[in-house]
Amino acid sequence: MNPTLEVQHILPDPDITCFVIPSLFSQTECEELLNGDIKNSFQKAIANYPTYYRNNDRFVMDNESLANKLFEKVKPYLPETITINSSIHAENGIWHLKDLNSRLRFCKYSANQYFHRHLDGIHYRSANMQSKLTFMIYLNSAAEFKGGRTLFFKTKDTEDIWATYNPRQGDLIVFDHNVWHEGEELTEGEKFVLRSDILYSRELTDMSKEPFSGHLGYIWSLLKLNDTTILSGGRDTTIKVWNTKGEEKISLQEHKNSILCIEKMNDDIFISGSRDKQIIVWNNFKPVNKIEIHRAIVLSLCRINDTTFASAGGDNNIHIANINGNIIKTFNEHTNWVWHLIKLTDNSIASCSEDASIKIWNIETGQLISTFHKSYPIMSLAFNSSTNQLISGNLKGEISIHTLNEDLQLENPVSFSAHNGIIRTIKFLSNTTIATGGEDNKVKIWRLNGQLIAELNHHNFVQAIEVLHDNKILSASYDGFIKMWPI
């Protein structure tokens, strides 16, 4: 079959795959895709995505026969091979067109809804079969809404729009996963799209393994279990157990979705929290209990004692629970996602939230002790009990250093700009130095007066940092790598 429609290239750079096939799908085909059952099945994305990122509605289904039908229609227009030779060696090679991801995502945008600037995530079937291109059908035309353009940008941070596309019903847009883009906010009407991913397979090459390599895609969490054992959790739904040389010892697969947090309870037990809404209790690397106490994704876990922990989620709630799954107390004063929990004293914890506040709680009485309001959502916390300093990192890349007084009130905040983007993780290295990781793809080492000591680079967002016993740190990134750095 030969292409019969003229492909319209969107970006000024012809070397980057980004094109529209106008009217590839007829009005009837679009209406069949967006049938009444689909229209009645949309749910708010906030259960899985924070509002700073996106707030539209969506419906996800797995349909292999429909994916095959859609793929056959677009296949003649797609590049048969993609050759990659980049600094991320794990991506390099010649990739051959395979098929369409059978997971189909329908998205609905109404007035005041958007999908802010982002890169589309890679769908992995294996190290040698993964998605490279985004596939998106516009199911209705811009005449039915205002706003809602697809906007493209050269970088994550530029204010300049590189290219735009105004949706027309039946058009299919295809673009490289590495192109920054966003769904512009609607001001009126409703917009509908269907999105999936175009998969490619790679010729087998010499894949010499680097230390800590093995995750497929984003790595969200790190935990030093002891001086010889490291745990990591990723989007590939696995917890990997490593020695300090980066050799994989065990791969644990019990969660059904991304593993966002891992916390040590005692020498034998750790717990993990996931996008699948579950907390799993592990004893000697075996799952012994599955706890579902949140209505949305589990974002943070904090050990209280050997058998009790605090958990925070995308349902805005904090629970104090035991490893048997019994809820002891619930704190529900936050009004948006609770990103991070940290223990302050035997009787108190601090929480930070998308609602731009830090709250301190008495975990015995359930009392909210204090609230500290900030200008932007707070994404990360660290606490040094020897200096009573609580450090927070926010959506805009700012660090704030607070002194905690005897009444557990925050005093004398000092702030400085640390990252160009969200600060995802903070770790104390000493009483006077910290390590931070952010969405500018960097690990940075700081003195608490704001002096930058070192800057270390990943290829994507830095999600987690762990401190080792021999003056080294580990950092984990969306680029799928765990890196070890001397400090």
Is the domain of 264 the same as that of 302?
A: yes
Instruction: Show which of 149, 177, 202 is a domain's final residue.
Output: 202
For residue 473, what pLDDT band results from cuts at 50, 70 and 90? very high
How far apart CA 188 and CA 111 sit, in angstroms, is: 5
Is the domain of 128 the same as that of 197?
A: yes
Write down the mean pLDDT value for the chain: 95
pLDDT tens per residue across span 438-469: 999 999 999 999 999 999 999 999 999 999 98
Is the domain of 193 the same as that of 238?
A: no
Tell me if 209 is assigned to some domain: no
- Kindly tell me if the per-residue pLDDT of 72 is higher than 70: yes
pLDDT of amino acid 208: 62
Tell me if 208 is assigned to some domain: no
What whole-number percentage of the chain has pLDDT above 70?
99
Is the domain of 290 the same as that of 317?
A: yes
How far apart CA 281 and CA 278 sit, in angstroms, is: 10
Is the domain of 179 the same as that of 298?
A: no
* CATH number assigned to the domain comprising residue 383: 2.130.10.10
pLDDT of amino acid 46: 85
How far apart CA 334 and CA 374 sit, in angstroms, is: 13
Local structure of residue 54 (DSSP, 8 states): B
Confirm if 196 and 37 have CB atoms less than 8 A apart. Answer: no
* Mean pLDDT within 310-325: 98
pLDDT of amino acid 386: 95
Tell me if 407 is assigned to some domain: yes
Tell me if 212 is assigned to some domain: no
Tell me if 2 is assigned to some domain: no
Is the domain of 146 the same as that of 231?
A: no
Which residues form the domain of 97?
8-202
Confirm if 17 and 174 have CB atoms less than 8 A apart. Answer: yes
3-state helix, strand, coil in the chain (%, to 5): 5, 50, 40
Tell me if 347 is assigned to some domain: yes
* CATH number assigned to the domain comprising residue 22: 2.60.120.620
- Kindly tell me if the per-residue pLDDT of 1 is higher than 60: no
Tell me if 420 is assigned to some domain: yes
pLDDT of amino acid 258: 97
For residue 27, what pLDDT band results from cuts at 50, 70 and 90? very high
Instruction: Show which of 202, 237, 264 is a domain's final residue.
Output: 202
Is the domain of 96 the same as that of 243?
A: no
- Kindly tell me if the per-residue pLDDT of 54 is higher than 90: yes
Is the domain of 123 the same as that of 167?
A: yes
Tell me the torsion sign for CA atoms 351, 353, 359, 362.
Answer: negative
How far apart CA 373 and CA 378 sit, in angstroms, is: 10
pLDDT of amino acid 432: 96
Q: In what order do the strands lie in the sheet with 423-428?
A: 423-428, 433-438, 442-447, 452-457
Is the domain of 182 the same as that of 239?
A: no
- Which amino acid is present at 333? E
Residue 335, number of CB atoms within 10 A of its CB: 11
pLDDT of amino acid 85: 87
For residue 90, what pLDDT band results from cuts at 50, 70 and 90? confident
- Kindly tell me if the per-residue pLDDT of 351 is higher than 80: yes
Q: In what order do the strands lie in the sheet with 482-486?
A: 462-467, 472-477, 482-486
pLDDT tens per residue across span 388-407: 999 999 999 999 999 999 88
**Phi, psi angle pair for 82, to nearest 5°:** -130, 125
Counted domains in the chain? 2
Tell me the torsion sign for CA atoms 406, 411, 416, 417.
Answer: positive
* Mean pLDDT within 263-276: 98
Is the domain of 252 the same as that of 174?
A: no
**Summary count for the chain: helices (H), strands (E):** 3, 44
pLDDT tens per residue across span 204-262: 765 567 899 999 999 999 999 999 999 999 999 999 999 999 999 999 999 999 999 99
Instruction: Show which of 169, 202, 235 is a domain's final residue.
Output: 202
CA distances from 227 to 144, 209, 245, 281, 302 (A): 60, 23, 11, 21, 20
pLDDT of amino acid 453: 97
Is the domain of 184 the same as that of 242?
A: no
For residue 411, what pLDDT band results from cuts at 50, 70 and 90? confident
* Mean pLDDT within 81-106: 91
Confirm if 464 and 445 have CB atoms less than 8 A apart. Answer: no
Is the domain of 118 the same as that of 195?
A: yes
Nearest to 442 by CA among 415, 467, 465: 465
Tell me if 214 is assigned to some domain: no
